[in-house]
């Protein structure tokens, strides 16, 4: 169970794993996530579903190596197994014929945006996509995004590839152009989603974000992932992960992502040391 | 095995004092996660067993939620017949090593013990633990299994209700699969109750036993997501389903500041510490952050567990903040006693009204108000009333909300016909566990709200017996009447 069948380096610190999980693959939908654990002592981490194959019984996970667990995940090879993989969790994206939709993926957020854009296109929407990253090394899936988008804008913060711009710039330009956009999805680091929300708010276009709080169980039993949306406390794992971007308390979300910086640092140092010693 | 003792004459039995439980000393144990209560040695167990008067009409059996034949297991023990004692005990109680440790005996069997009238009650719980631990250390071969009935049952949840129901159903000859949403079995036994109160090897032993009966446990299966109730019944070929998902939804106060960093539900705190073994960080990857001055809001067993974990994780001062008084504390007496010995501070008649944070989003204090007790409310307990003008600020850097839990609603997705009360619990017949949905039974906290391990275990047994009758065609599957319980 949970065998890794395929692994791909999308970029220096961005990896893709295809995992055997037939029961999860059967039900997984765009917008949902899974919780994985590498080994017995591992932590439970949420990863959005980047893709799935119901017939093959696999789910595709994309992640960036930002801490001990994702670094360790980056060393997994075909034939290795996750100790556990739970899902599909969260509510799926609400896919329907909105008209013209804008899908924005920032950094590792490109992965969950892909199946959403795909499903929106299949539902008859005109899909305009923007993918962006800090630099060329963090971009991936340009070709895949092109296949599910009517228009694709690619940018990097430093201009090392595509247009030199933060994703908020093309968003603003599109909205200012008078082009009719019915619904927007923006997924990426919390700070990126916050600024996308601020950018779209004056135009009054409904905007959906996928929140990436810290989680433990992912099934609504602990409340670690709670965030205020529209003044109400919500659990990202069961009420989300998608929420109305204009109602999210971004500052609270950002603060709640910074609960364990010392432990995260300690874990990374220990991991690096272990790698260096070869043990 | 212990040497049998000659039956001590009754009047001499009464002279034997209640044998104290050997316990880890408070100062030391406040810094480790090892079991606090060390268990009787043979001599103490035999002395205590001799205190039982073997009443003709044993009140203790009536006091036990599952009617364990207490005098019988104690007498077998006194005779040195441990296997016989185990059999008597396990006739009604599938989880004695757990119940012996976590049952509130002081409100169940021991409170009605005749010896308690003039002396101290027989230490029934400690004796149960002694016998059950002997059984764990000397496992008997799995029982002879009947021929397979050809019927399949899905048990949702691997906590006390689910494990018990599954074990009994397997022994009746049915094919059972337990679906557990977490990655390890045991439910609250593994994520809620700390190691120092319930060593996990005991839980693993119980799970192994259930597996040895042929029960399959599918982990990481979230009913309501990975599978749904209707799918199990209509597509996956299960003839019956038992819901034992407990009450895992944490409650919050919804006071201002509750989302500051450092404010967590007891469920989150205990899951990190117990299931994810955060006390072994960084050898184990899940971290937990414990403040120097911790407030735990609530006074049930969960609050005791959370406060004692916080202490063991290095908190300098830990407060239990409870809106009622000492006499209303619902936690098990021994846990309150141990918490006091370990230095937990109890702030009674105190209720938080607001949590303060700093500019980085971290909790730094809590405003509380003093309470007084008024007339009893619907639960029979005196209603706590805030005393205006008594507000004061408490300097804390961690707050744990241990206010109680409710059933997690996720399991109800795609489960049409399953009637629930307005508290979110499932309507089920008390004797049989039948719900309002065909072929679905329920028991444990999902029906009663947060309660005890033994009560869940008993519900699992009763449901297994009824499911068995149903599967054999001995009863017509009449769903539970939609009673007043459903209305309110």
Q: Which residues of chain A have pLDDT under 50?
A: none
Q: Cβ separation of A216 and B259 shorter than 8 Å? A: no
Structure confidence at residue B378 as a pLDDT band (50, 70, 90): confident
- Residue range B106-136, pLDDT digits in tens: 999 999 999 999 999 999 999 999 999 999 9
% of chain B with per-residue pLDDT over 90: 89
- Residue range B193-202, pLDDT digits in tens: 999 999 999 9
- Bridge pairing between strands A4-11 and A14-20: antiparallel
Given a contact cutoff of 8 angstroms between Cβ atoms, the answer to whether B449 and B406 are in contact is yes
Structure confidence at residue B481 as a pLDDT band (50, 70, 90): low
This model of the complex carries an ipTM of 0.95
User: Residue B4: is its pLDDT beyond 80?
Assistant: no
Q: Is B373 helix (H, G, I), strand (E, B) or coil?
A: strand
Which residue bears the tokens 């070709």? A143
CA distance B449 to B253: 18
What pLDDT sits at residue A11?
A: 86
Alpha-carbon distance values, A139 to A136, A145, A159, A162 (Å):
5, 11, 12, 10
With a threshold of 0.80, does the pTM exceed it? yes
Give residues with Cβ within 8 angstroms of B24, minimum separation 6.
B32, B34, B35, B36, B38
User: Residue B382: is its pLDDT beyond 90?
Assistant: no
What pLDDT sits at residue B386?
A: 96
Give residues with Cβ within 8 angstroms of A133, minimum separation 6.
A106, A107, A110, A139, A156, A157
- Residue range B238-296, pLDDT digits in tens: 999 999 999 999 999 999 999 999 999 999 999 999 999 999 999 999 999 999 999 99
What pLDDT sits at residue B6?
A: 65
What pLDDT sits at residue A143?
A: 97
Structure confidence at residue B486 as a pLDDT band (50, 70, 90): very low
CA distance B425 to B330: 20
Given a contact cutoff of 8 angstroms between Cβ atoms, the answer to whether B92 and B460 are in contact is no
A83 to chain B: closest CA residue: B183
What pLDDT sits at residue B484?
A: 41
Residues of A (127-156) whose Cβ lies below 8 Å from B? none
Report, as an integer, the average pLDDT of B322-343.
Answer: 95
Q: Cβ separation of B183 and A89 shorter than 8 Å? A: no
Partner B contacted by A91 (CB < 8 A)? no
CB < 8 Å to A24, chain B: 226
Q: Give the DSSP H/E element, type plus range, for residue B158.
A: none
% of chain B with per-residue pLDDT over 70: 97
Strands (E), B123-273: 152-156, 175-179, 216-218, 240-243, 249-250, 263-265
Q: Cβ separation of B248 and A221 shorter than 8 Å? A: yes
Select from B222, B282, B360 the Cβ nearest to the Cβ of A267: B282
Among A239-243, A254-258, B81-85, B381-385, name the one with the lowest average pLDDT: B381-385
Give residues with Cβ within 8 angstroms of B454, minimum separation 6.
B64, B65, B66, B93, B95, B99, B103, B108, B160
Give residues with Cβ within 8 angstroms of B310, minimum separation 6.
B269, B290, B291, B294, B296, B318, B398, B400
CA distance B163 to A254: 41
Structure confidence at residue B485 as a pLDDT band (50, 70, 90): very low
Alpha-carbon distance values, A173 to A26, A100, A123, A134, A246 (Å):
39, 16, 26, 20, 19
A251 to chain B: closest CA residue: B361
Partner A contacted by B267 (CB < 8 A)? yes
């Amino acid at each position: 169970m949970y065998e890794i069948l395929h692994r791909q380096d999308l970029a220096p610190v961005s990896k893709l794993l295809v995992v055997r999980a037939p029961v999860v693959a059967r039900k997984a939908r765009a917008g949902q996530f899974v919780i994985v654990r590498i080994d017995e002592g591992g932590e439970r981490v949420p990863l959005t579903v980047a893709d799935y194959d119901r017939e093959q019984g696999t789910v595709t996970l994309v992640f960036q190596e930002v801490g001990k667990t994702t670094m360790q995940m980056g060393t997994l090879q075909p034939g290795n197994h996750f100790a556990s993989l739970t899902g599909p969790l969260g509510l799926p994206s609400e896919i329907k014929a909105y008209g013209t939709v804008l899908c924005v993926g920032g950094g590792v957020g490109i992965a969950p945006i892909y199946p959403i854009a795909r499903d929106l296109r299949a539902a008859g929407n005109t899909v305009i996509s923007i993918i962006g990253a800090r630099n060329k090394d963090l971009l991936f899936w340009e070709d895949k995004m092109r296949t599910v988008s009517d228009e694709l804008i690619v940018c990097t913060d430093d201009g090392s590839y595509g247009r030199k711009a933060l994703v908020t710039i093309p968003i603003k330009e599109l909205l200012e152009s008078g082009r009719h956009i019915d619904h927007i999805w923006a997924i990426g680091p919390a700070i990126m989603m916050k600024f996308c929300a601020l950018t779209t708010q004056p135009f009054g276009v409904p905007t959906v974000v996928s929140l990436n709080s810290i989680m433990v169980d992912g099934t609504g039993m602990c409340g670690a992932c709670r965030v205020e949306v529209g003044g109400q406390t919500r659990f990202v794992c069961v009420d989300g992960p998608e929420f109305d971007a204009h109602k999210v308390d971004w500052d609270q979300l950002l603060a709640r992502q910074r609960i364990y910086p010392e432990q995260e640092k300690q874990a990374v140092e220990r991991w690096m040391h272990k790698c260096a010693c070869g043990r | 095995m212990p040497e049998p003792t000659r039956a001590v004459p009754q009047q001499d039995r009464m002279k034997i004092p209640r044998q104290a439980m050997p316990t880890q000393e408070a100062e030391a144990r406040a810094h480790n996660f090892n079991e606090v209560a060390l268990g009787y040695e043979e001599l103490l167990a035999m002395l205590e067993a001799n205190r039982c008067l073997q009443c003709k009409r044993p009140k203790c059996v009536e006091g036990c939620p599952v009617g364990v034949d207490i005098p019988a297991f104690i007498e077998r023990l006194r005779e040195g017949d441990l296997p016989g004692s185990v059999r008597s005990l396990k006739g009604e109680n599938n989880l004695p090593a757990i119940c012996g440790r976590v049952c509130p005996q002081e409100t169940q069997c021991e409170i009605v013990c005749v010896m308690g009238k003039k002396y101290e009650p027989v230490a029934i719980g400690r004796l149960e633990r002694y016998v059950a631990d002997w059984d764990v250390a000397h496992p008997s071969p799995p029982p002879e299994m009947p021929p397979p009935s050809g019927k399949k049952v899905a048990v949702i949840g691997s906590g006390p209700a689910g494990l018990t129901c599954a074990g009994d159903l397997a022994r009746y000859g049915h094919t059972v699969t337990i679906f557990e949403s977490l990655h390890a079995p045991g439910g609250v036994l593994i994520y809620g109750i700390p190691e120092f109160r319930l060593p996990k090897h005991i839980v693993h032993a119980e799970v192994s036993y259930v597996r040895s009966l042929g029960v399959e446990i599918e982990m990481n299966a979230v009913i309501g997501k990975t599978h749904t109730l209707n799918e199990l019944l209509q597509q996956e070929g299960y003839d019956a389903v038992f819901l034992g998902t407990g009450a895992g939804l944490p409650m919050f106060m919804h006071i201002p500041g509750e989302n500051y960093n450092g404010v967590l539900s007891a469920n989150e705190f205990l899951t990190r510490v117990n299931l994810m073994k955060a006390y072994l960080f960084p050898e184990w990857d899940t971290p937990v952050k414990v403040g120097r001055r911790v407030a735990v809001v609530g006074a049930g067993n969960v609050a005791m567990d959370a406060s004692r974990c916080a202490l063991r994780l290095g908190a300098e001062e830990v407060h239990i903040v409870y809106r009622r008084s000492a006499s209303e504390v619902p936690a098990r007496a021994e846990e309150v006693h141990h918490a006091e010995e370990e230095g937990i501070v109890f702030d009674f008649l105190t209720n938080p009204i607001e949590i303060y944070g700093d500019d980085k989003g971290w909790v730094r204090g809590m405003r509380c108000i003093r309470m007084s007790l008024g007339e009893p409310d619907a639960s029979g307990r005196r209603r706590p009333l805030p005393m205006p003008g008594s507000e004061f600020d408490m300097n804390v850097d961690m707050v744990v909300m241990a206010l109680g839990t409710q059933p997690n609603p996720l399991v109800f997705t795609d489960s049409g016909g399953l009637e629930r009360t307005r508290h979110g619990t499932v309507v089920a017949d008390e004797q049989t566990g039948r719900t309002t949905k065909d072929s679905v039974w329920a028991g444990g906290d999902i029906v009663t709200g947060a309660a005890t391990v033994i009560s869940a275990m008993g519900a699992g047994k009763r449901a297994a017996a009824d499911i068995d009758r149903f599967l054999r065609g001995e009863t017509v599957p009449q769903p539970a009447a939609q009673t007043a319980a459903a209305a309110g």
